[in-house]
Amino acid sequence: MQTIKIRGMTCQHSVMSVTKALTDIPGIRDLKVNLVKGEATFENPQKVPVENIRKAIEDAGYQVVD
């Protein structure tokens, strides 16, 4: 499992936007987006580069926290 911290999620719509952005990436599986923790956890068996994941989240309007 991989976890990414996300800044800017404020409601369930945010969760849905991040979920859609990440499920649109081939190779991401078992995704869970947690509004309270401000993070997304997922399996990445195809080793999708973190840069691609970061870009999808940022394109959806949120910020990845390093």
What is the domain range of residue 24? Answer: 2-65
> How far apart are the C-alpha atoms of 5 and 37, rounded to whole Å?
8
Report residue 1's pLDDT band, with 50, 70 and 90 as the boundaries: very high
Residue 45 near residue 27, CB atoms below 8 Å:
yes
Q: Buried (b) or exposed (e) across 21-48, using 16+ Cβ within 10 A?
A: bbeebeebeeeebeeeebbbebebeeeb
- List, for residues 7-56, the tens digit of each pLDDT value: 999 999 999 999 999 999 999 999 999 999 999 999 999 999 999 999 99
Residue-level pLDDT at 5: 98
Counted domains in the chain: 1
> How far apart are the C-alpha atoms of 6 and 38, rounded to whole Å?
5
Using alpha carbons, select from 20, 3, 2, 1 the residue that is nearest to residue 61. Answer: 20
- Regarding pTM above 0.75, the answer is yes
**CATH number for the domain that contains residue 39:** 3.30.70.100
Report residue 66's pLDDT band, with 50, 70 and 90 as the boundaries: confident
